[in-house]
Structure 1
Amino acid sequence: MTLNRSIGILALICLPAAGIWFWQNPTVRQAPQLSFKTIKGERIDLADLKGKLVLVTFWATDCPGCIEEIPHLVELHRQYSNAGLTIIAVAMYYDPPNRVMAMAKAKQLPYAVALDPSGSLAQGFGNVQLTPTTFLIDRTGRIVLQNTGAFELQDIRQRLNQL
C-alpha cells in the first residue's frame, strides 16, 4: 500500500509539472530549413547555423512593439554574438524594402536584416502574421520559444544562458 501511495503522490506531482512545462513550451519543434536573403545581399541558410543559437524575429517598420525591441536585439547581439548567437530580423512581406533598409541604416542594426517579399519565410515559420513574433532556435535546430508581441529581455537572456 505504501508503494502504491508513493507512486500516486509522485504521479500527482509529475503530471501537473509536465503539463505546465508543455504549456509554457508548446513550440518545441524543428526549425524550418529556410534561406534568408539579407539587405546586404548575403544568404543565410538555417541548416548552416546548426550548432549555434539563432533568434529569428519577424518585424515591420511601422510596428511600435518591433521598434521597442530594437535596442534589446542590439544588446543581445553585442552580449551573445561572440558566444555563437545569430540574430535574423525578417521584415514582413508588406514592408517596402527601401523603408527597411533606411531604418536598418538609421538604427545601425548590427545583426542580419532579411526581406521576405513573397511571405515564404513567414509561411515557413507557421504563417506568422503578427509582429513582432520571435523564435529562439537551439543548437540542435529546434524551436524552443515562440513569442508573439514584444519579448521580455530578461526572459530571453535567461533562456540563452541555459542553452
Structure 2
Amino acid sequence: MKTAPRLLASALLVAVLAGAGLLAYQSLGQRESAPPVRYVLLDGANGDSSQWKGKVMLVNFWATSCTTCVKEMPQIVATHEKYKSRGFDTLAVAMSYDPPAFVANFAESRKLPFGVAIDNTGEIARQFGKVQLTPTTVLINKRGEIVKRYVGEPDFAALHGLVEQLLAEG
C-alpha cells in the first residue's frame, strides 16, 4: 500500500512539471505589448502609439547631457534613413530633466529627420518600464510588441539585422 501513494505522488509531480514546462514553452513566443502612450512633438503635432501599428518602430530615450546619446544619434539617424521607406519609423523621446530649449536646439542643429518628443512629466518613460538610464532604445514590431530593449548604445549591425527581419514579417 505504501507504493500506491508514492506512485500517485510521483505521477502528480510529473503532471505538474509537464504542465509548467508547457506553459513556459508557450510563453517563449509571447512578447510584451508596447504601452499606449501620447506625446507632443517639437513641431507641436500630437502623436500616440496607435499610429505605430503596421510599422517597425524604434523608440529612443535620450538626453542632450548624455554623451553616449549624442555619440549614437548619427547612427540612429542613419538607421532611420536606411529603413524609413520600408515601413520603419523612429521616435526620439527626450527625458523629463532635459531643458526643452536644449532639445529643440539639438534637434534643429542636427536636422533630426524623425519625431522628437519631450517627456516633460516622465510619463512616457514610466509607461516603457520606468526608463531611467540613457540611452535606452526599444524596438517594436509591426504588431506593437516589444522585440528588444537596449540600455546603452546598441550594436548597430545587429540592430539592422533585427530590423531587416521585422520588416520582412507579414
The TM-score by the shorter chain falls in which range?
0.7 to 0.9
- 2:96 paired residue number: 93
* Larger CA Rg, structure 1 vs 2: 2
- 2:86 paired residue number: 83
1:52 and 1:131 map into 2 onto residues whose CA distance is: 24
Residue 68 (1) aligns with residue 71 (2): yes
SS in 2 for 1:29: coil
Task: Answer with 131-140 or 43-52: which moved more.
Answer: 43-52
Identity over aligned residues, as a percent?
Answer: 39
TM-score by length of 1: 0.82
- 1:4 paired residue number: none
- 1:156 paired residue number: 159
Residue 83 of structure 1 and its aligned partner are, at CA, apart by: 0.6
1:101 and 1:65 map into 2 onto residues whose CA distance is: 18
- 1:7 paired residue number: none
SS in 2 for 1:41: coil
- 1:124 paired residue number: 127
Which one of the candidate residues 102, 107, 115 is aligned to 1:104?
A: 107
Structure 1 residues not aligned, in runs of 5+ = 1-14
Which one of the candidate residues 25, 37, 41 is aligned to 2:40?
A: 37
2:71 and 2:134 map into 1 onto residues whose CA distance is: 12
Structure 2 residues not aligned, in runs of 5+ = 1-20
Q: How many residues align?
A: 142
